Each structure stands twice: as structure tokens, then as C-alpha cells.
Amino acid sequence: MADHEKEQPDAVKNKNKQGPAAAVLILVFGTLALIISLAVSITFGAASIKLTTVWEALFAFNPDLSDHQVIQEIRLPRVLSAVFVGSFLAVSGAIMQGMTRNPLASPAILGVSDGAAFAIAIAFAFFPGTSYVGLMGWSFAGAGLGALLVFGVGMFSKGGITPAKLALAGVAVGAMLSSFSTAIAIQFDVAQDMTFWFAGGLAGIEWTSIQMLLPVAVVGLGIAFLISRAVTILSLGEEVSRGLGQRTTLIKVLGIITVLLLTGAAVAVAGRIGFIGLVIPHITRFLAGMDYRWLIPCSAVLGALLLVLSDLGARMVNAPYETPVGAITALIGIPFFLYLARGEGRGL
């Protein structure tokens, strides 16, 4: 056992050849790019606003000026929510891929996002007038239901769980829950209320949403950072993890709680926005290596950057109308998913 324990740090190092230097560069330049993207996103809209006006609205707010009101009440909450939601989805995807050792794992593909949207549909239909906090609670429960169904289907499949089977189960369960959500929305005349959650978008987000996302960020991202080292070892295999004395069940429970918190909050605020949790962890892993102590914060920064840029693109594609931001992320993510699925198809 002693020899085995000595070998594991080398295995981790071999899977993390890029080292912390690359991760630091990603964090520095990614954060810089994020700040620039936020500034550009705030200036762009139905009416263009100068950067100097944005600066004044942030640090010398004048409630009598309409541009200042637009920035403070509409555009600033929107871009901040993009930062939170993008980082939540990216970190959720990274944790899911690390825990399951499945390169196809992400909240959108494994039914978590569809489960959250399904629960919100039930809340709108049977519990009208549910508060924002209540919607978030429903979203958490639905995310858990989606994950439970997907892993249940995967466990009972012939030959056990493989990455490709889990992805297929996720797509099937997601389609089923999405169909149920649509049926409920039509039957109970809440389709108009549900359109936003089905398409995914950041329009109309207010400061109330940001206030709800802040505690989730503190708890969810905090747990993600705490278990990051354990997820790194778990990604090498469950036997390796147990051999090093890790409490794998506890780590998995904490990981699942983190994914449900982050994904549930993201769907409750922005609806179903897919593929950020799939694409970003792979890009980050390629650039920064396998050490989740670096992979998780880097994924958070790059996920936030991707969603801010996607939201900006959604407003520019067919201006002055808005394209659902979920369509923009799907254009990026679907080819990536097909590429990964092609490599995993042999495991069927």
C-alpha cells in the first residue's frame, strides 16, 4: 500500500503537465477579457451608451438621467447574472465530468437542466404566485429528479454504465421531461410564462435575481473549491481514490449537492442554457491540466466569459430583436458534443 500511495502523486502530476502557470495565465487574462466583455455588453443595446456614461452611472449615479437608470436597473443586473450563470454551469459540468469520469457529462446533457425546467412548469401550473425563492426551490428539486432518473436508467442498462450510455439516457430523459413541461404549459395555459425558461435568456433580469444568486455562489462555489483536490483524485478512478483513504461517498454527495445548487439556481434565473457545462471544462482541461484546484476556478471564469459573449451575440445577430442565448450556446456546443460522442461511441 505504501508503494501504491507514493505512485499516485506522480499520476496526478502526469495528468497535469501544464501546471499552475497556465492556470494563472487563464485566470489573469480570462478575468481581464471578462471585464472588457462586461463593459462592451453594458454599452450595447437598443440604445448605444458611451463608456464614459457607464463609468458615471456606476460611480456617480444620477437617478434623473435615463441612461443611468437603464444601466443600473436593466443592463448591469443582466451582465452580472450572465457571470453567475455561466460560472455556475461551467463548474457544475467540471464536477460532473470529474466525479463520473464521463467526458460527455454536463447539466444539459444529463437531464439536470430539463428536470429543473420541468419542476418550474409544475410550480407555474399548480402553484401560481410562487415567490422567486420558491421557484428556485422547485428548480433544485427538479434538477435532483432529472439526475436521479438519468442515473437510474443508466444503472439498469445491460452491461452497466458507460459514458455513451449515460449521455443517451440523459438525452432521452431530458426529451421526456421537456415534453412533459410543454404539455403542462399548454394544458394549464402557462406557455407564455414558460417560454423564457424553455429558450433560455437573460432579458428582464432584475437585482432580485442577483440577490438570490449571491448566497448560492458563496455556498455552491465554496463547496466546489473545498472538494476540488478530492475530485482530482476521484477522476483517476474510484479504486485509486479509496486506496488513498478518501471518503468517496462523502465527496460524491457533496459534489451532487453542489451541482444541484448551481444548476438549479442557473435554470431558475436564466432558463435552460445548454452546453456551457460541456464545452468549458474540456477547454480548461486542455489548457490548464487535470488538477481541479485550478480547473474549477478557471472554468468559472471562462464559463462566465462565454455566456457574457453569447448574450452579446444574441443581441447583435438580429438587432433590435433578441435571439435566445440558448440558441447561441447550442451552435457552439452541439458540434463539440457530436465530436466527443463520436469518440465515445465505441464504448456502447
pLDDT value for 194: 80
Please give the Cα distance from 305 to 89 (Å, whole number). Answer: 12
pLDDT value for 167: 77
What pLDDT, in 10s, does the model give residues 264-316? 899 888 888 988 999 999 999 989 888 999 999 999 999 999 999 999 998 88
What pLDDT, in 10s, does the model give residues 264-278? 899 888 888 988 999
Least Cα distance to 276 among 252, 305, 296 occurs for: 305
Work out the percent of the chain whose per-residue pLDDT is above 70. Answer: 89
pLDDT value for 316: 85
Which position has the higher pLDDT, 229 or 12?
229
pLDDT surpasses 70 at 12: no
Residue 338: pLDDT band with limits 50, 70, 90? confident
pLDDT surpasses 90 at 262: yes
pLDDT surpasses 80 at 47: no
**E strands, the chain, in order:** none
What backbone torsions phi and psi does residue 102 show, to the nearest 5 degrees? Answer: -115, 110
pLDDT surpasses 50 at 348: no
End-to-end CA distance of the chain: 34
Which position has the higher pLDDT, 99 or 225?
225
pLDDT value for 344: 54
Average pLDDT of the chain is: 85
Which grid cell is 211? 440577490
Amino acid type, 291 = D
Q: Are 44 and 50 in contact (CB under 8 A)?
A: no
pLDDT value for 189: 85
pLDDT surpasses 80 at 29: yes
Whole-prediction pTM: 0.86
**DSSP annotation string for 257-321:** HHHHHHHHHHHHHH----SHHHHHHHHHHHHH-S-HHHHHHHHHHHHHHHHHHHHHHHHHTTTTS
Residue 60: pLDDT band with limits 50, 70, 90? confident
pLDDT surpasses 90 at 122: yes
Which grid cell is 98? 470529474
Least Cα distance to 209 among 41, 296, 40, 79 occurs for: 79
What pLDDT, in 10s, does the model give residues 162-186? 666 777 888 889 899 989 998 998 8
Please give the Cα distance from 174 to 114 (Å, whole number). Answer: 5
**In the chain, what are the domains?**
77-340 (1.10.3470.10)
pLDDT value for 21: 87
Amino acid type, 39 = A
